[in-house]
């Protein structure tokens, strides 16, 4: 009855796949490595506490109540000096809606792509997160302005667009034009008739 048909070899225990209804799982080669990596952050944290205390640990240790029970206060050193203004609208839900011209106080978080900040004059004082490209720093003496229409300035080989935010420079009005700075730090004389105050 062999008839030329060979029976496939019997599977050993290591060759069997794990079934959900299986009572025991096969020993994993990486299980010991996984448990070590899972504990590594805790061990590193303990090692840090014996030597140099990290900045994070210093900020967490206080004589008052637990940091989880009280809201964290932003120190004045964390808030960047100067005012920022929204140059591109950003909406990420009803609590994070940034409109053109909104003024913000930015908190330095070290991330160049995402910023945190508070709307100036907002009574809720809610910390918001938004892309860094949505805002620009207003230099001392500058006045943020909004373009009412597209403007082509041939002598500077530049085009300014409707609803673009630009920054009028102090004491630069001459012959119905004002020197403005764009978000990319290009300076150009723009006709006043095309600008609105923000």
SS (H, E, C) 135-171: EEEECCCCEEEEECCCEEEHHHCEEECCCCEEEECCC
Question: Could you tell me which CATH class the domain 143-197 is placed in?
Answer: mainly beta
Answer yes or no: are the C-beta atoms of 165 and 196 closer than 8 Å. no
What's the pLDDT score for residue 17? 55
Residues counted in the chain: 198
The CATH superfamily assigned to 83-138 is SH3 Domains (2.30.30.40)
Domain 83-138 and domain 143-197, same fold? Reply is: yes
Is residue 167 a contact partner of residue 138, using CB atoms and an 8 Å limit?
A: yes
Residue carrying the six token digits 């303990």: 46
For residue 152, is pLDDT > 70?
yes
C-alpha span between 115 and 106 (Å, rounded): 7
154 pLDDT above the threshold of 90: yes
Q: What is the pLDDT of residues 92-139, one digit of tens each?
A: 887 788 999 999 999 877 888 999 999 988 888 888 999 999 999 999
Is this structure's pTM higher than 0.85? no
**Extents of the domains making up the chain:** 83-138, 143-197
Q: How confident is the model at residue 57 (pLDDT cuts 50, 70, 90)?
A: very low
Averaged pLDDT of the chain: 73
């Amino acid at each position: 009855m062999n008839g030329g048909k060979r029976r496939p070899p019997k599977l050993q225990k290591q060759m069997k796949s794990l079934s959900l209804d299986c009572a025991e799982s096969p020993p994993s080669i990486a299980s010991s490595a996984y448990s070590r990596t899972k504990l590594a952050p805790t061990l590193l944290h303990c090692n840090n506490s014996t030597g140099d205390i990290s900045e994070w640990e210093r900020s967490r240790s206080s004589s008052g109540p637990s940091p989880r029970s009280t809201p964290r206060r932003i120190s004045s050193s964390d808030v960047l000096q100067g005012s920022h203004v929204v140059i591109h609208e950003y909406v990420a839900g009803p609590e994070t809606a940034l409109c053109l011209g909104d003024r913000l106080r930015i908190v330095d978080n070290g991330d160049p792509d995402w910023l945190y900040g508070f709307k100036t004059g907002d009574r809720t004082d809610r910390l918001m997160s938004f892309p860094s490209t949505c805002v620009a720093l207003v230099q001392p003496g500058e006045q943020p302005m909004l373009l009412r229409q597209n403007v082509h300035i041939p002598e500077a080989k530049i085009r300014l667009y409707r609803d673009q935010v630009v920054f009028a420079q102090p004491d630069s009005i001459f012959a119905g034009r004002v020197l403005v700075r764009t978000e990319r730090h290009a300076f150009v004389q723009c006709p006043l008739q095309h600008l609105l105050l923000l």
